[in-house]
Amino acid sequence: MATETYLNAGRRAVIEEMQRDDAVWALGEDLGRGGVFGQYKGLQEMFGVDRIADTPISEACIMGAAVGAAMTGTRPIVEMRFSDFALCAVDELVNQAAKARFMFGGQMRVPMVVREPIGMWRSSAAQHSQSLEAWYTHIPGLVVVAPATPADNLGLLKSAIRNDDPVVYLEHKNLWALEGEVPEAEHLVPLGKADIARAGDAVTIVTWSGMRHGCLRAAQTLAGQGIESEVIDLRTLWPWDRDTVFASVRRTGRLLVVQEAVSVSGFGAEIAASVAEALHHDLKAPVRRLGAPRIPIAYAPALEDRARVGDQAIIDAVLGLVAPCPAD
C-alpha cells in the first residue's frame, strides 16, 4: 500500500487505463495545462495532444464530440470541470448517450465517463457548489458513481472507464487533498457494490461521497455514548447496493440516510422509500434522512455553513432514532 491523495489516485487511474487501452482518451478545457484542479497534470506530455485533447469553451461541444466518439469505438473521458457547468451539455448526455443502447436495440454502446466534480468547496458560491447526483440517477441508461476515498477513486474510475455504458462520475471537490492508503498493484472496485465503512448494530447510516467522512466522525462520537452505528458508503448510486443496505437495516431496525445535496427530491429519498416499502415490518423507528435545505449555496462562509449537514446534525438524528419508545 502507498499513501496517495484523492486527486492523484484519479490521475493514476486515467494513466493506467490509457496505457492499457489505446481507445481511452480525454477531452475538456485546459487539459494540456493539467485541468482546473491538476487532475491531468503532465498527461498531455505523456500521451500527446490527440489523446489529452484541449477543447473550446463549450460544454455541449465537448459532450457531443465524446458521444459520437464513443459510438464509433473509442472510450472518451469527458472533463466537465464542475458539475454545474455540465448542465450546458445535459441534452447530449441525457437524450443521446443514455438512450442509444435502448433505441438501437443493443447494437450501439456509448462507453464514456463524464467527470463532474461536485460539492461545497471553500466559498465557491451558488454556481460552483452543487451536488446534482439525483438528476442523473433519475435517467435510465446512466451509471452514477460517487467515490469518497483515494482507493475508491482509483478503483472506481478504472472500472467506470472499462464499463460499456455512460458513467456520470462525481468526484467531491473538497476531497482532492484527502490522503489515504491505495494499493500499489492493479486495483479495481466493482460498480454497484457498497462499502461497509464501519460496523454497528444500533442504526444503519447510508451515505456517499464527502458525507462518508462526516458520518464516520459522528459514529465515532456516538460510540463513546454506547451507540454503535453501521456506516455504509454506497460508492455507486446507480445501480445502488440494495442487498447490503437491506441486510444492515434488517439487523439494526433503523435507517438514517445522509446526503450533502438538497434534501428535497434528493437520492436519499429513493433509499428511504425503498427501505420503508420493503422492510416496514423490520423497522424499529421511522426512516430518517438528512440533507441540505432548499436554498442556493452562499459565498459567505457563515451562510455556506447553514447549508452544510454537520456532524452534530448527524449525531442528533441518530439519537432521535435510538431513543426508547414503546415499541422497544
Domains of the chain, CATH where assigned: 2-182 (3.40.50.970), 196-322 (3.40.50.920)
Paired with 181 in beta bridges are 3
Classify 112 as helix, strand or coil.
coil
Strands (E), 170-281: 179-182, 195-198, 203-207, 229-233, 236-238, 255-262
The confidence band for 126, taking pLDDT boundaries of 50, 70 and 90, is confident
**Residue 125: predicted pLDDT:** 73
pLDDT at 127 over 80: no
Task: Give the model confidence (pLDDT) of 218-243 as tens digits.
Answer: 999 999 999 999 999 999 999 999 99
| Among candidate residues 119, 181, 120, the one with its CA nearest the CA of residue 155 | 181
Task: Give the model confidence (pLDDT) of 25-81 as tens digits.
Answer: 999 999 999 998 999 999 999 999 999 999 999 999 999 999 999 999 999 999 999
CA–CA gap between residue 326 and residue 317 (Å, rounded) = 19
The confidence band for 328, taking pLDDT boundaries of 50, 70 and 90, is very low
Stretch 210-217: mean pLDDT, rounded? Answer: 98
The catalytic position among 128, 172, 187, 213 is 128
CA–CA gap between residue 160 and residue 153 (Å, rounded) = 10
The confidence band for 14, taking pLDDT boundaries of 50, 70 and 90, is very high
Stretch 142-164: mean pLDDT, rounded? Answer: 98
Active site residue 128: yes
**Residue 325: predicted pLDDT:** 54
Contact yes or no for 259/226 (Cβ under 8 A): no
Q: What does the buried/exposed string (b/e) look like for 43-74 if buried means 16 or more CB atoms within 10 Å of the residue's CB? A: bbeebeeebbbebeeebeebbbbbbebbbeeb
